[in-house]
Chain A
């Protein structure tokens, strides 16, 4: 006679046997993800075009004493409008990173990409690990200061179209009433324990910090490192300190 455990397994199998993943599941996932990217791309293009149109175009008048900025702007409109309305085919949008290069030798690791860390918790050193995926890049810090050490703090920076990802995540957390908005000096941020990370469900205490319209930083503690602090408040306090010290070099 089957055991109770075996019967539970069998009943589960029988109960779920009728279920099949929808044939268009992959398509829906890709479409949804791509629409997010396209939205971000369109927003970025619109923003950059606005800057271009508003900017002086005196460079176009070189060689022509009769052309002023206004005329040059008008003359370039067909070119701009041809470039703006349609996003490129989806496969032309930057592909997902695969084995992205690193950021090279960062010295003490405090300045990387377009940010500079002014404060790190005591004892932490650059891990000599970094990742450069273009519009998002990161590095981390640990006690050992080498690649084999378990990371304690990771800082990832999102720029340009990648900031849409951060907006999406924060929106998801808000909808779940998970985390809280915080002020870091005159900047805004979002404190949350991210449940899904490399280290499991304990979660990574994280501060998302808006560095500018085109730049966000994600400052994250590993769950193991977070346990070295007496309480969540202490972790959050350290996250905020790192955030306060983190400045943009754009």
Chain B
């Protein structure tokens, strides 16, 4: 095994799970997330000589995952219209697990790029500037996309519902 392959193997071992979780949030589906992650790693492996110009493997892989997820979501959108979900009926005693389900459903209803912004900002904890770099857009675009996405999440989830569930979860 060459030095490059060894480094790549160490990277996958160390960061594979974290990347899978990000892919899951970006895709909204575990099987697709696993597929996207493997695809992203294969492309990265084939392009290691290009990655050298970047800061490291992780930003590159992250970018491939996000781009692949967006690309797949757009392709799916071409062949079928994803129905917008109605705000879920949630009782005041909704469990934390239910709330996670509501969140995932809400994420799935977001346009792919808005979902990517949410994942990068909230999950990867990237700054607006870093998020803009990953998505190849202006910081202002990230701000507007994040604002729209957050508003939709609040709307679909229902701030009152969320806060009610949060209270219940902490009782």
Contacts and interface: CB of A to CB of B under 8 A. Distances in A.
Contacts of B37: 21, 25
A165 B46 contact: yes
Interface centre among B75, B122, B137 (most CB of A within 10 A): B122
Contacts of B54: 198
A88 to B, nearest CB: 15
A189 B167 CA distance: 60
Nearest to B123: A12
Contacts of B9: 26, 30
Given A4-B159, A9-B123, A198-B54, A16 B63 contact: no
Interface of B: 1-5, 9, 12-13, 16-17, 19-21, 24-25, 30, 33-34, 37-38, 41-43, 45-46, 48-50, 52-54, 60, 63-64, 66-67, 71, 75, 96, 99-100, 103-104, 118, 122-123, 133-137, 150, 153-154, 159, 162-163, 166-167, 170
B78 to A, nearest CB: 8
A223 B50 CA distance: 16
Interface string A163-181: 0010010000000111000
A195 B21 CA distance: 22
A25 B63 CA distance: 19
Contacts of B63: 196, 200-201
A96 B103 contact: no
Contacts of B167: 1
Contacts of B24: 16, 19
A17 B65 CA distance: 19
A8 B122 contact: yes
Interface in A11-37: 11-12, 14-16, 19-22, 25-26, 28-30, 32-33, 36
